Amino acid sequence: MADKLKTALFKFTCCAGCQFQLLYFFSPESFLETLDLLDFVYFRMATSKELKEDDHYDLAFIEGAISTTEDIEKVKKIRKQSDIVVGYGACAAHGGVQSIGDWTPQRKLEETVYPNPLQMKSIKVHPVDEFIRVDYQLRGCPIDEVEFMELIRALAAKKEPYLREYPVCVECKFANNICILLMRQGVLESMCLGPVTRAGCRVACTRNMRACFGCRGPMTNPNIPEMVRTFKGKGFTEHEIFTRFTEYAGLSPEFSEGARAYYERKAPYYERPEWRAA
Amino acid sequence: MVRALKLDGLDILIESLKKDYLVYAPLSRNGDYFFSILEEEKAYLGCAVTIMPPKRILQPEVQTLFNYTAVDGYSIETPPLDQKQALFGIRPCDVHAMLGFDRVFGGRYEDPYWWERRKNTLVVAANCTTVAEECFCSSWGTGPGLDANYDLLLTDLEDGYLLEIGSPAGEEVAIQLDVPPAGEADLSKKARLLARATASIKKVLGVKPTELHDFLAERFDHPAWQPQADVCFSCGNCTITCPTCYCYNIFEDYSPALKAGERRSEWDSCQLLEFARIAHGFNFRRTRLDRFKHRSIHKLSWMDQQYQTPGCVGCGRCVRWCPSWPVRRGRPTSLADPVEIIGDLMEAV
Ligand code: SF4
Ligand code: SF4
Ligand code: SF4
Ligand code: SF4
Ligand code: SF4
């Protein structure tokens, strides 16, 4: 067996729920064995080890989205210091929940929340690979422990991990679920993004009769226009469709296409959707 | 003549099966049906195709091929496959699909996993005296009644059940039941009910099965393919729920310390982008059009040419579970529906 991978976990804009998952997962049994392949030299939530300047890492997990200009410098530094960079969780991969704000002018957001917006240094939220090359993405809100294990042991064994590219529907049928997109009517819970969202979550949502809201971002080559048409056919409003596509991964080119479908906008930003205009 | 019995209820048969077999049956959940181990619930015998076909019991979605350990050399262990099991209430179309698997996994290269399970499986089929909206088995001759290839065959006669015995293994179960033989009247009632069921099937394939090969070969470049492919999600629902689709992928689950592992198979689907991808990322069927066409033609023609078994038995699962419903000929239809696909191709260019 190879030496342990010298690992650091960095947190940017997010709820830290994905790193909490590492402390929380107890199963399957081999999960702890997998963690044993990693030597965490920096992991704030779990160890008191301090960050060493100019250290070198075999593996760096970057959790969270990028939302200040200093963040950009920090991730660039991490990239230089690390052999492998893993985008860790939905926020790193696609911006996550806070990326909803990107569809509203930054000034507007700041005025709504802060008494003194001119003090604010934040920029629009971005996924990590907007600024640096990311070698692997662990998607999802939160990440999935089986996928985590697959990635880590593959890296330790120096082979390519088997990360699913196909849509959630495949795993949904494997679980013998009834299709809520087809069978449930008139409720938001039937607005399932499964046909365009990448699998790997083992259908946490549809297993419980909840629509997939796309937390893992787009599958490879999804059919977005057809998804929009399907939602429209089910009678969902423009606002509902927009909201569904932008909840977690609206910044991905694919989902932003779905969100833009109604507004015919060129970029995800700068113009307010109709429903906000009032 | 086949030996036939008349049952008042199913409990006596189920109890008797449970003594020797692990019994799988269509069970209801959230208003739909799925094939699972029959415990306390009631097995459902009305015509409702299960969400997933019963192939999942003989060839599970994800199955362990073998476990290995790599401490002091190698050792390999295959999972036990000799569990005696009964497929209770399997529909005629699904039985035909299973016979298709026998051909695909048989012949020159036998699949030991399939055959071990298959040999230990008792087929307790159920004729369909009522049919669902999506069924079109009569176009293929795969239902709604079954003529052969069962161990036991049930027909709901409304005033009880007809139980026909089709094999020595079936006879072993039947002999334990203390029930009277069926009479002439029961057999003619069965024939009447099945004729009524056949007549009530609304969906008809527009081209005869024997003519499909030429029909599709001539229309390989028909313009109707492209608009169909454009509204396809490539989600794989149509093949994953199909009782005749046999494609699978193999992958490895290994312990982090690389001391032990498990090799697994997992169903695959030609609708998925990565299905035909090979080394260096080259993909034989990169476009949605190629994939959509491949599934349709493989089901309706190539599988028959390859294995002399139809790739579709008319169960209607793909019709039901395809999430894409374009309007064709003035009404919303399931994109994956073979009857509608053929219908599109029948339209003049
Ligand atoms: S419920 Fe959603 S994920 Fe599941 S099959 Fe239907 S569309 Fe796909
Ligand atoms: S079903 Fe969709 S929203 Fe739910 S965990 Fe999976 S990817 Fe995320
Ligand atoms: S192609 Fe559709 S109707 Fe035909 S056997 Fe498969 S799932 Fe059933
Ligand atoms: S239709 Fe596709 S998944 Fe089904 S058997 Fe043919 S190639 Fe395999
Ligand atoms: S035909 Fe329907 S079920 Fe099949 S891949 Fe396309 S959208 Fe999915």
The answer to whether residue A69 is domain-embedded is yes
Arithmetic mean of pLDDT, B30-55 = 80
Is B12 in CB contact (< 8 Å) with chain A?
no
**Nearest C-alpha of chain A: how many angstroms from B261?**
11
| Closest of B118, B192, B121 to residue B155, by C-alpha | B192
Longest CA–CA span in chain A (Å) reads 62
Query: How far, in Å, is the centroid of ligand 2 from the Cα of B118?
Result: 36
Three-point CA angle A80, A86, A88, nearest 5°: 130
Which two tokens mark B320? 């039901």
- A97 and A215 assigned to the same domain: no
How far is Cα A146 from Cα A30, in angstroms, rounded to an integer? 10
Alpha-carbon dihedral angle through residues B307, B309, B312, B315, given to the nearest 10 degrees: -140
Q: Give the total number of structural domains in chain A.
A: 2
DSSP 8-state code for residue B180: P
Longest CA–CA span in chain B (Å) reads 69
Please give the residue range of the domain that contains residue A123: 5-156
- A65 and A139 assigned to the same domain: yes
Name the burial class of residue A45, with classes exposed (0-12), middle (13-18) and buried (19+) by CB atoms within 10 angstroms of its CB.
exposed
Q: Band of the pLDDT at A30, cuts 50, 70, 90?
A: confident
Give percent of chain B with pLDDT exceeding 70. 98
Site to substitute for ligand 3 among B52, B299, B322, most atoms within 8 A of C-beta: B299
Domain range annotation of chain B: 4-59+78-199, 209-346
CB atoms within 10 A of CB A196: 30
The answer to whether residue A267 is domain-embedded is no
How far is Cα A72 from Cα B33, in angstroms, rounded to an integer? 52
Arithmetic mean of pLDDT, A255-269 = 65
Which H or E element spans position B239?
Answer: helix B237-240
Arithmetic mean of pLDDT, B298-302 = 97
Higher-pLDDT residue of B48, B77: B77
How far is Cα B108 from Cα B13, in angstroms, rounded to an integer? 37
Give residue-wise pLDDT tens across range A76-110. Answer: 999 999 999 999 999 999 999 999 999 888 998 99
- A141 and A240 assigned to the same domain: no
Arithmetic mean of pLDDT, A62-89 = 97
How far is Cα A36 from Cα A178, in angstroms, rounded to an integer? 39
Alpha-carbon dihedral angle through residues B132, A189, A146, A154, given to the nearest 10 degrees: 90
| Closest of B152, B149, B137, B121 to residue B59, by C-alpha | B121
How far is Cα B51 from Cα B32, in angstroms, rounded to an integer? 7
The confidence score (pLDDT) of residue B256 equals: 80
Arithmetic mean of pLDDT, B326-338 = 93
Tell me the CATH number at A64: 3.40.50.700
The answer to whether residue A162 is domain-embedded is no
Residue whose pair of structure tokens reads 């422990």 in the numeric block: A145
Which two tokens mark B112? 């030991």
Cβ-based neighbours of B255, under 8 Å, separated by 6 or more: A30, A33, A153, B261
Q: Is the pLDDT of residue B30 over 60?
A: yes
Measured CA distances, B30 to A176, B27, B34 (Å): 11, 10, 10
Q: Is the pLDDT of residue B153 over 90?
A: yes
Measured CA distances, A130 to A89, A98, B240 (Å): 15, 16, 36
The confidence score (pLDDT) of residue B187 equals: 96
How far is Cα A38 from Cα A59, in angstroms, rounded to an integer? 9
Question: Would you call A226 and B325 a contact, using CB atoms and an 8 Å cutoff?
Answer: no
Is B297 a pocket residue for ligand 4 (Cβ < 6 Å)? no
Contacts with B32 from chain A: Cβ below 8 Å: 178, 183
The confidence score (pLDDT) of residue A265 equals: 43
Is B232 in CB contact (< 8 Å) with chain A?
yes
The answer to whether residue A221 is domain-embedded is yes
Q: Is the pLDDT of residue B109 over 70?
A: yes
Q: What are phi and psi of A138, to 5 degrees?
A: -100, 115
CA-based radius of gyration for chain B: 22
Mean pLDDT estimate for chain B: 93
The confidence score (pLDDT) of residue A147 equals: 94
- Are the beta carbons of B137 and B204 closer than 8 angstroms? no
Q: Is the pLDDT of residue A1 over 70?
A: no
- In terms of pTM, does the model score above 0.90? yes
The confidence score (pLDDT) of residue A269 equals: 40
- A140 and A247 assigned to the same domain: no
The answer to whether residue A89 is domain-embedded is yes
The confidence score (pLDDT) of residue A263 equals: 53
Query: How far, in Å, is the centroid of ligand 3 from the Cα of B242?
Result: 5
B residues 240-259 lying closer than 8 A (beta carbon) to A:
240-241, 251, 254-258
Q: What are phi and psi of A119, to 5 degrees?
A: -80, -15
Give residue-wise pLDDT tens across range A133-175. Answer: 999 999 999 999 999 999 999 998 888 999 999 999 999 999 9
- A206 and A152 assigned to the same domain: no
Beta bridge partners of B261: B68, B254
- A48 and A176 assigned to the same domain: no
The confidence score (pLDDT) of residue A41 equals: 96
Cβ-based neighbours of A97, under 8 Å, separated by 6 or more: A15, A90, A91, A141, A247, A248
Arithmetic mean of pLDDT, B233-247 = 97
- A128 and A237 assigned to the same domain: no
Of A134, A156, A178, the last residue of a domain is: A156
The answer to whether residue A270 is domain-embedded is no
The answer to whether residue A196 is domain-embedded is yes
- A184 and A249 assigned to the same domain: yes
Per the rule left: phi > 0, alpha: psi between -120 and 50, beta: everything else, A140 is left
- A145 and A213 assigned to the same domain: no
Is A218 a pocket residue for ligand 1 (Cβ < 6 Å)? no
Cβ-based neighbours of B235, under 8 Å, separated by 6 or more: A167, A169, A170, A194, A195, B271, B323
Question: Would you call A167 and B324 a contact, using CB atoms and an 8 Å cutoff?
Answer: no
The confidence score (pLDDT) of residue A274 equals: 37
